[in-house]
Each structure stands twice: as structure tokens, then as C-alpha cells.
């Protein structure tokens, strides 16, 4: 108990497990790599000089950052309304929508990228359709250029934007909006003045995850882009394949890390700035009070309020009627987003039933041979099982450690917090290949190379970072007076946490857990190094199969993984219906 109380006084202590894992697995090797980039022990900046002397390197670095910013912006613009509509949907529909948004993650990125060439190609679905309809006479250039890269990257990153937004929005007390409306705020004003500011931590977390994620992209820009769309990580990966000299690799990685940190601090990604916001609002209020314009508008407001309040009652009964148009727009928008998110997956599913030895769309013949080749081969099913095990272990470890860290960070002084967040986020900011090198060296020191424990640790460092980001978004809106209230009622810190805090931040924790699982389930670059050829995961197995050709087995795996959550949804629906039937049965029983 005393220890816990001590922890309560020293919130930064809650980040100890996260920092410890980080330090042990990648921290020390990361510092060693940094020293390598500085040519230790003689210490010189030649590698950095060499980088900046090459104008091409600087251009590529600048382009990498620009492209990441553009993708992040697109994700915010599409992701925000999507998340809003999902949260506004009824419970059952909401779960369905969340699953549909997350499903694209289950298809290997490589196959999805190929599906995009099928859709966007010169003889692809869109061009063929437009030519058939007579809209265009010669094909549009939709792929092998920047546009294609953006389409592919946004497709991969959008769920990463939506998930933290959902966590943040779920945590917003809906009665606040109703209260604003009851005070005469128009729907948009209520949204803009109440809901939007409360959802900002979600925007920040999502944008952060998307931005740092984009910095590490290399397969999509290469596959869907033109010559001048290559990103820095692609060159780092090429270097890793063709040279044994780690110094230039480490140099590029640290420059990317530095740029990321600069961009993040400029955009103020301080995650949970609960203390900052009220001050800002009161500042703004004071400003408007002193300006004559503000006074004027206040005066007008006062006059109008009476009128608005009158109208409000009638509005209440008109909601259904007046909302028809906005509802229609919402449905159309949501459907477009879903089509965009699910279309490549659908094409993958169709291709998986092909009888040919190559991926082709539309398939010239139909067969189940690729499903047989997956299910009938123990090396495939074994790899799937391994991936599931690793995913679950990583999820448990990183959700607990990450939530503790986020909780601790939310009540740490802002300077220390910025530093700790920077440290925790390093593994998802550095190009993943360098994380792989660092994790390899770290696990060598621990003697865990090529073991499942080692892989879980290596996966966890990235997963913890994501959990911290997502849980922080929820904690930012968390009303700390509730905890104080509980404590004033003589609840201990542990009891307060489990009975008050935990239930309130649950959406964030679930979001973080989903993210952690996906992170582990999809990870291939770090795994390919730290598995030391002793453990085969599903993504590794997928990767090894593309050496010569994109074997349609990959499409079969993708569609099986896509169909499984859909089946789970159907099952959930029936369980829900049964339980509702039971409930209504029970309700009606006393009456009879």
C-alpha cells in the first residue's frame, strides 16, 4: 500500500516498466548505433556531413516529410467525419462499422498494394469503366505517380487515424452537447465549441501515429509511385540489403528521427495537455470581453438567446425532419469511405478464388486451390498460430505497460512529460529497419535472439508507443476531480484506479489493445531480424513467398483473415439478438 501511495505521489514512476523494456531491448543498442553514426570512438560528423553534402539526400528527406504531412492531413480530413459518424451511430451499427474500418489491416499490405494497381492501372477498373462510359477516351494516369502513392498510403494509415479518434470521441460525455443545445447553441456551434475541442486530443494522437508511420513507408511509394516518389526509408532499406556498414544507415535514421521530433514539437504533440487548454479558453474569453467587437457580439447574443431558446423547443421535435439532408450526406460519406477502405480487400478476396498460378483480376477460372494450399500446409497454419500467440502476448504486455505509462505521463510535469514521450515514441519514429537492428543487438545481449519471448519484447516496444498515444488521447479528457471525489470518500489509489479511472478510460485502452495486436500481427521487418531464422510468423511466411511471384496463397490468407472478423460479426449479431430476446422475455415475464 505504501509503495502504491508513493507511486501516487511520483506519477512518472508508472512509466518505469515501459522505459525499462525500451532501454533493455533497444535503448542501449540505439545509443550504440548513434555512436556508430558519429564514428565513435574517434567522434566526427563525417557521416552527417556526407548526408547533407548530398543535395539529393536533403531533397529526399524534405520530400519524405512533405508527403507524410500531406497524408496526415488527408487522413484527418477523411478520418474525423468518419469517426464522428461512427460514434453517432447506434451501438450495433457502431461495432459493425468499427470492424469494417479495421478489416483492411488484416490483408497483407503487399497484396493490397497490388490490388490498387488493379484498380488504378492504365487498363484498371476505374479507367476501363470511365472509357466504357465514354467519359474519357484515353486512360487517366492514376498510378505510378504521387497520386497513386497518396491513395495507397492513406488507405493504409486511415484506420490508424480513426482508431484514436474513436477512443477520444467515445469518451466525450454526450450530455455536454445536449446541454449546449439546451442553452440555445445551434448544432454546429455546439459541435464546434463543445465537441470539437474535446475531441482534439484524438486528432493529435491520430495525426501523430499517422505522421510517424508515414515517415517509415517504403514499399507503397515504390510500388505505386514513380521514379521521384521514393521516400528515405526505401533508401535505408536498400542500403541494409547491400552494405554491411551500419554507419550511413544509422545516420539517415537519426536525421529522420530528429526531423520527426522537430515537426512533432512544432505541431505541439504534447499528447495530454489537459492543463493547457482551460487557460487558453479563459484567455480567449478575456480577449473577447475587452474588444468592442466581442462586446457587441455578446450584446447581440443576449438578445438572440431569448429567441433561440424559444425556437429550441420546436427544434427538438423537428430534429428527425431537419436532419434528413445531413443524414443523407452522412450516409453517402460513410459509404464512400467504406468503399475506399474495403474495395482493395474485396478484389483480393475475388482474386483468391482464382485457379491460375498468378494473381489475376478478374480470375479466368475459379478454384479453391489456394485455400487448400494454405489450410493443407502445416507450415502456413503453424505460422498463423505463432502470429496469433505472439500477437496476444504482445497485446497483454504492451496494453498494461502502455496504459500505466500513459496514466503516469498524464500527471507528470509538462517538461518531464515531453522528454519521456519523446523517449517512448522513438521506436515508432525511427525507420523500422533501424529498430530491427537495435532490437537484434539488444536481444543478443539478453540471450533472447530467435526466441518467442524476444520477438514479443521487440514487438512490444512499438506497441507500447501506440498504446501510450491512444490512451493519452482518452486521458486528456478525463476529469480528475472524479478521482479526487473517490479519494475523498476514502477510496485508496488502487481502488480509485480500478473503480473510477479504468472504466472511464476503457475505450482508449481497448483501442490501444487493438492497435497493439495489429502492430504485432503485421510486423515483418523487425521480426525478420530478431527471429534469427528460428521462428516463422505469418507475415514472414507471406514475405518469403513473394520472392519469385505474388503467389495467390497470399490472397487466400488475406481473405481468410478478412472473412473471419466478418463471421465473428455475424455471430455477434446473433448473440446480441438472442440476448435481446431473452431480455425482453424477462421484462415481459413479471407482467404475465
Q: 104 vs 539, which CB is nearer to another protein?
A: 539
Residue in 212, 209, 206 with CA at minimum distance from that of residue 260: 212
Q: How many CB atoms lie within 10 A of CB 499?
A: 12
Cβ neighbourhood burial of 303 (10 Å; 0-12, 13-18, 19+): exposed
Pick from 243, 289, 297, 579: which binds another protein (CB under 8 A)?
243
488 scored as a contact of another protein (CB under 8 A) = no
- In DSSP terms, 354 is beta-bridged to 366
Stretch 51-70 residues interacting with another protein (CB under 8 A): 54-57, 59-60, 63
377 scored as a contact of another protein (CB under 8 A) = no
Residue 264 C-beta: closest distance to another protein, Å: 25
What is the rounded distance in angstroms from the CA atom of residue 561 to the CA atom of residue 559?
A: 5
Residue 505 C-beta: closest distance to another protein, Å: 40
Q: Measure the N-to-C terminal CA separation of the chain; round to a whole number of Å.
A: 52
Residue 503 C-beta: closest distance to another protein, Å: 44
Pick from 182, 239, 373, 418: which binds another protein (CB under 8 A)?
239
Pair 476, 273: CB distance under 8 Å: yes
Residue 299 C-beta: closest distance to another protein, Å: 58
Q: Which of the stretches 49-57, 153-161, 296-304, 397-405 binds another protein when contact is defined by CB under 8 A?
A: 49-57
Stretch 314-373 residues interacting with another protein (CB under 8 A): 356-360
Q: 172 vs 231, which CB is nearer to another protein?
A: 231
259 scored as a contact of another protein (CB under 8 A) = no
Q: Which of the stretches 100-108, 152-160, 246-254, 391-399 binds another protein when contact is defined by CB under 8 A?
A: 246-254
Report the half-sphere exposure of 377 (CA within 13 A, side-chain side).
Answer: 15
The stretches of 183-291 forming alpha helices (DSSP H) are 187-190, 196-215, 219-224, 232-242, 246-266, 276-290
430 φ, ψ (degrees, to nearest 5): -70, 145
45 scored as a contact of another protein (CB under 8 A) = no
Stretch 213-232 residues interacting with another protein (CB under 8 A): 222-223, 226-228, 230
Pick from 492, 528, 563, 572: which binds another protein (CB under 8 A)?
528
Number of residues that bind another protein (CB under 8 A): 72
- Residue 73, Cα to own-chain centre: how many angstroms? 14
What is the rounded distance in angstroms from the CA atom of residue 562 to the CA atom of residue 103?
A: 6
Residue 40 C-beta: closest distance to another protein, Å: 5
Pick from 297, 326, 336, 549: which binds another protein (CB under 8 A)?
549
Specify the residue for cell string 438578445: 303
What is the rounded distance in angstroms from the CA atom of residue 465 to the CA atom of residue 444?
A: 23
Residue 419 C-beta: closest distance to another protein, Å: 24
Query: What cell numbers appear for 157 in the block?
Result: 494509415
245 scored as a contact of another protein (CB under 8 A) = yes
Pick from 98, 256, 441, 458: which binds another protein (CB under 8 A)?
441
Residue 477 C-beta: closest distance to another protein, Å: 43
Give CA separation, 50 vs 45, 56, 231, 251, 437, in Å.
Answer: 8, 11, 18, 10, 22
For Cα atoms 215, 148, 238, give the angle at the middle one, nearest 5 degrees: 45
242 scored as a contact of another protein (CB under 8 A) = yes
Specify the residue for cell string 487558453: 280
Q: Is the dihedral of CA 261, 264, 268, 270 positive or negative?
A: negative
Report the half-sphere exposure of 142 (CA within 13 A, side-chain side).
Answer: 19
Q: 51 vs 478, which CB is nearer to another protein?
A: 51
Residue 460 C-beta: closest distance to another protein, Å: 20
Stretch 77-136 residues interacting with another protein (CB under 8 A): 114, 117-118, 121-123
Residue 358 C-beta: closest distance to another protein, Å: 5
| DSSP assignment string, 464-499 | HHHHHHHHHHHHHT--HHHHHHHHHTT--HHHHIII
- Residue 298, Cα to own-chain centre: how many angstroms? 41
Pick from 409, 435, 540, 557: which binds another protein (CB under 8 A)?
540
Stretch 448-477 residues interacting with another protein (CB under 8 A): 449-450
Specify the residue for cell string 521506436: 427
Residue 509 C-beta: closest distance to another protein, Å: 35
Q: 210 vs 438, which CB is nearer to another protein?
A: 438
Residue 417 C-beta: closest distance to another protein, Å: 30
552 scored as a contact of another protein (CB under 8 A) = no
Stretch 139-158 residues interacting with another protein (CB under 8 A): 144
Residue in 467, 445, 440 with CA at minimum distance from that of residue 534: 440
354 φ, ψ (degrees, to nearest 5): -70, 150
590 scored as a contact of another protein (CB under 8 A) = no
374 scored as a contact of another protein (CB under 8 A) = no
Residue 219 C-beta: closest distance to another protein, Å: 9
Q: 251 vs 477, which CB is nearer to another protein?
A: 251
Stretch 21-40 residues interacting with another protein (CB under 8 A): 28-29, 32-33, 35-36, 39-40
| DSSP assignment string, 378-444 | HHHHHHHHHHHHHHHHHHHHHHHHHHHHHHHHHTS-HHHHHHHHHHHHHHHHS-HHHHHHHHHHHHH
Residue 204 C-beta: closest distance to another protein, Å: 32
Q: Which of the stretches 73-81, 317-325, 420-428, 546-554 binds another protein when contact is defined by CB under 8 A?
A: 546-554
Amino acid at each position: 500500500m505504501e509503495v502504491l501511495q508513493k507511486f501516487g505521489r511520483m506519477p512518472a514512476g508508472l512509466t518505469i516498466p515501459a522505459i525499462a523494456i525500451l532501454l533493455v531491448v533497444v535503448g542501449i543498442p540505439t545509443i550504440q548505433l548513434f555512436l556508430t553514426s558519429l564514428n565513435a570512438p574517434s567522434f566526427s560528423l563525417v557521416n552527417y556531413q556526407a548526408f547533407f553534402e548530398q543535395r539529393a539526400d536533403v531533397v529526399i528527406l524534405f520530400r519524405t516529410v512533405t508527403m507524410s504531412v500531406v497524408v496526415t492531413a488527408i487522413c484527418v480530413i477523411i478520418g474525423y467525419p468518419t469517426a464522428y459518424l461512427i460514434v453517432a451511430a447506434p451501438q450495433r451499427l457502431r461495432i459493425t462499422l468499427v470492424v469494417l474500418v479495421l478489416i483492411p489491416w488484416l490483408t497483407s499490405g503487399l497484396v493490397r498494394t497490388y490490388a490498387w494497381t488493379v484498380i488504378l492501372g492504365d487498363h484498371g477498373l476505374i479507367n476501363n469503366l470511365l472509357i466504357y462510359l465514354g467519359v474519357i477516351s484515353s486512360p487517366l494516369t492514376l498510378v505510378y505517380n504521387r497520386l497513386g502513392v497518396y491513395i495507397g498510403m492513406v488507405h493504409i494509415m486511415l484506420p490508424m487515424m480513426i482508431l484514436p479518434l474513436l477512443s477520444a470521441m467515445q469518451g466525450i460525455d454526450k450530455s455536454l452537447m445536449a446541454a449546449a443545445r439546451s442553452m440555445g447553441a445551434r448544432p454546429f456551434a455546439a459541435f464546434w465549441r463543445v465537441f470539437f475541442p474535446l475531441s482534439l486530443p484524438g486528432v493529435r494522437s491520430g495525426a501523430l501515429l499517422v505522421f510517424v508511420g508515414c515517415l517509415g513507408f517504403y514499399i507503397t511509394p515504390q510500388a505505386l509511385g514513380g521514379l521521384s516518389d521514393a521516400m528515405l526509408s526505401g533508401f535505408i532499406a536498400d542500403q541494409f540489403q547491400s552494405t554491411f556498414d551500419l554507419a550511413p544507415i544509422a545516420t539517415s535514421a537519426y536525421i529522420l528521427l530528429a526531423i520527426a521530433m522537430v515537426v512533432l514539437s512544432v505541431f505541439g504533440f504534447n499528447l495530454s495537455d489537459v492543463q493547457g487548454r482551460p487557460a487558453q479558453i479563459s484567455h480567449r474569453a478575456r480577449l473577447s470581453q475587452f474588444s468592442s467587437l466581442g462586446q457587441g457580439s455578446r450584446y447581440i447574443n443576449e438578445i438572440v438567446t431569448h429567441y433561440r431558446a424559444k425556437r429550441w423547443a420546436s427544434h427538438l421535435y423537428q430534429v428527425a425532419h431537419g436532419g434528413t439532408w445531413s443524414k443523407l450526406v452522412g450516409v453517402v460519406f460513410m459509404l464512400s469511405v467504406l468503399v475506399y477502405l474495403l474495395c482493395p480487400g474485396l478484389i483480393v478476396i475475388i482474386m483468391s478464388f482464382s485457379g491460375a498460378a498468378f494473381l489475376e483480376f478478374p480470375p479466368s477460372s475459379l478454384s479453391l486451390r489456394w485455400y487448400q494450399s494454405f489450410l493443407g500446409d502445416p507450415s502456413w497454419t503453424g505460422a498463423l498460430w505463432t502470429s496469433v500467440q505472439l500477437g496476444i502476448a504482445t497485446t497483454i504486455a504492451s496494453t498494461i505497460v502502455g496504459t500505466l505509462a500513459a496514466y503516469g505521463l498524464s500527471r507528470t510535469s509538462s517538461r518531464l512529460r515531453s522528454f519521456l514521450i519523446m523517449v517512448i515514441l522513438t521506436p515508432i519514429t525511427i525507420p523500422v529497419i533501424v529498430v530491427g537492428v537495435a532490437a537484434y543487438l539488444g536481444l543478443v545481449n539478453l540471450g533472447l535472439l530467435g526466441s518467442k519471448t524476444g520477438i514479443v519484447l521487440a514487438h512490444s516496444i512499438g506497441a507500447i508507443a501506440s498504446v501510450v498515444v491512444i490512451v493519452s488521447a482518452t486521458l486528456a479528457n478525463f476529469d480528475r476531480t472524479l478521482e479526487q471525489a473517490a479519494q475523498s470518500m476514502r477510496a485508496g489509489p488502487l481502488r480509485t484506479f480500478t473503480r473510477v479511472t479504468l472504466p472511464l478510460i476503457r475505450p482508449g485502452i481497448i483501442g490501444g489493445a487493438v492497435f497493439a495486436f495489429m502492430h504485432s500481427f503485421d510486423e515483418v521487418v523487425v521480426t525478420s531480424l530478431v527471429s534469427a531464422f528460428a521462428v516463422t510468423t505469418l507475415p514472414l511466411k507471406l514475405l518469403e513467398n513473394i520472392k519469385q511471384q505474388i503467389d495467390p496463397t497470399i490472397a487466400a490468407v488475406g481473405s481468410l483473415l478478412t472473412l473471419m472478423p466478418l463471421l465473428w460479426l455475424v455471430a455477434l449479431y446473433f448473440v446480441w439478438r438472442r440476448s435481446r430476446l431473452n431480455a425482453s422475455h424477462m421484462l415481459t415475464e413479471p407482467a404475465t
